[in-house]
A and B are shown apart, each in its own frame.
Chain A
Amino acid sequence: AQSVTQPDIHITVSEGASLELRCNYSYGATPYLFWYVQSPGQGLQLLLKYFSGDTLVQGIKGFEAEFKRSQSSFNLRKPSVHWSDAAEYFCAVLTTDSWGKLQFGAGTQVVVTP
């Protein structure tokens, strides 16, 4: 069965420290990959996407993600976290065999401490 896994439910990071959020997917082919962020009381905002080409993609707010086909992973990173990065982060995939549905991971809650 197709699935998207975010292994970390909750991450606490100090302001200024680096952040990495993990995402693994289970599909036969390379899907379209997305990271979204949801700040408290807000909808989902698209951070970045990967469709093809360069496996390291840059997004908004200083985030980047790297696609690794061999590991079926699409991890999100930020070199230096700001207090405003505290939010819920969702990995999502869109596959050619399910064009109708964007599959979401369970989400990772990021807490930023002073």
Chain B
Amino acid sequence: SAVISQKPSRDICQRGTSLTIQCQVDSQVTMMFWYRQQPGQSLTLIATANQGSEATYESGFVIDKFPISRPNLTFSTLTVSNMSPEDSSIYLCSARTDKNIQYFGAGTRLSVL
């Protein structure tokens, strides 16, 4: 299994600022992902974090708004840039093991004022 530590667990931010969310996995994993979950909704994939290269973004998400880094096999960051109230959501880090099992962090609950 993989245990994922995500921080911060929650934050309240001002419009126009940026927030960086960190994700640390306790073991080497093959793939890491970032999701967004709107209240009462399912998960939407933002991007796949690739080690040492640019992330692969899903339709509707762009690097300028959601820059992602993955400097090694167990760590990744997601930045939410130039925030607006529409960015208020839960952001979840996820990692997939070589057994094709995907685990999730506890999430970051973001409120933008």
Residues of A within 8 A of B (CB): 32, 34, 36, 41-46, 49, 51, 90, 92, 94, 100-102, 104-107
Chain B interface, >50% SS class: strand
CA distance A42 to B107 in the complex (A): 7
A87 CB to nearest B CB, Å = 13
CA distance A34 to B31 in the complex (A): 17
In the complex, how many residues of chain B place their beta carbon closer than 8 angstroms to a beta carbon of chain A?
22
B56 at interface (Cβ–Cβ under 8 A)? Answer: yes
Residues of B within 8 A of A (CB): 4, 6, 31, 33, 41-43, 45, 48, 56, 92, 94, 96, 100-107, 109
B50 CB to nearest A CB, Å = 10
Tell me the nearest residue of chain B to A107, going by C-beta. B42
Tell me the nearest residue of chain A to B93, going by C-beta. A43
Contact of A46 among B6, B31, B45, B101 (CB under 8 A): B101
Contact of B42 among A32, A43, A45, A90 (CB under 8 A): A90
Query: Do A32 and B100 touch (CB < 8 A)?
Result: yes
